[in-house]
Structures are given as structure tokens and as C-alpha cells.
Amino acid sequence: MSNTDYLLIFIQFIVAGGFVTLVLFVTHFLGPKRKTSDKLETFECGIESQGNARLPFSIKYFLTAILFVLFDVEVIFLYPWAVNFKEFSSTNMSGFISMSIFMGLLLLGFIYIIKKGALKWE
């Protein structure tokens, strides 16, 4: 493929982008502008907007889900390790030791989570 073949794709990009910009500009200049106070209000499904958008919400479900993903991934690491365990242990203990370090670090993290009360639902 030579360089000129890509030129066509490039032209397509230009046309696509150019069309959008052109239409935006043209509507901006052609359309009449009547700004009333009702029009400038925040639109919220036709209901009058009230209160602040920044409300605290419960993250319990999110926290459980993300911790599940974390330990789920850890188990994925265990599978290939378990399959190759025989070859690891036949030469020396390094395969076992590195996995123990890995599991130890995760275990510490797990204890941290429990101590912080991240898994308490009530």
C-alpha cells in the first residue's frame, strides 16, 4: 500500500470534520436568537430543577464489586501457576517463594480491607 492510498482516508476525515464545523457555524449565523429566561434555565425533563447535583450516595455496592474484581484477578494468576507447579518445584523453590510473596501481599491487603470495614454492609 502506498502513501497515496491513505490520502483518500485523510480526505474523508477532512470532509467529515469539515461538514460538522460548517453546519455548526452556519446555524449559528443563520438562526434567529430569542433568549428568554425560561430558555436559559437548566433543562431537566420538563420538571423544575431543584437542589444541588453533588449529593453523597452509598458506595457499598461499588466497593464490594471492585474488591471482587481485584481478588478475581488474583485467582486468574493462580491457575497458570497451579498448572506449571510441577516444573517449578522440580528445579528449586523459587516458583513457590515468589507466589507466596504475591499471596502474602494480597493477604495483607485483604486484612487491611477487613480492618477498614470495607466489607461491612450495615
Partner 1 sequence: MNSEFLILMKQEMGVTLILFILLFLKIWDGIKENGILLHLINVLLLLNFLLGFVLNQNGELFNGMFATNSLRVMEKSVLNLGTLIISLQAYDYLKSHKHLLEFFMLLLSTLLGMFFMISSNNLLMFYLGIELSSIPLAAMANFDMDKIKSSEAAVKMILSSAFASALMLFGISFLYGTSGTLNFQELVSLITGSPLQVFALLLVFSGFAFKLSAVPFHLWTADVYEGAPVAVTSYLSVISKAAIVFVTLSSLAPLFSHLNEMWYHLLFVTIILTITLGNIFAIRQDNIKRFLAFSSISQVGFILLGISSGTATGATSAIYFLVVYIFSNLGAFGVIALLSSQTGKENISDLKGFYQTNPLMGWVLAISLFSLGGIPPTAGFFGKMFLVTAGAAKGNYVLITIAALNMVISLYYYLRVVKAIFMDKNETPVEPLRGSLSLRLALLICMIGVVGTGFAGGFFEHIYQLAAK
List residues near partner 1 by CB under 8 A.
1, 3, 6, 54, 94, 105, 108-109, 111-112, 115
Cβ-based nearer residue to partner 1, 23 or 94: 94
Other Cβ atoms within 10 Å of 99 Cβ, number: 16
The distance of closest approach from Cβ of residue 111 to partner 1 in the complex, given in angstroms and rounded to an integer, is 5
* Helical segments of the chain, H only: 3-30, 37-40, 60-83, 85-91, 94-116
* Torsion of the alpha carbons at 114, 116, 119 and 122, rounded to the nearest 10: 130
C-alpha grid cell, residue 113? 480491607
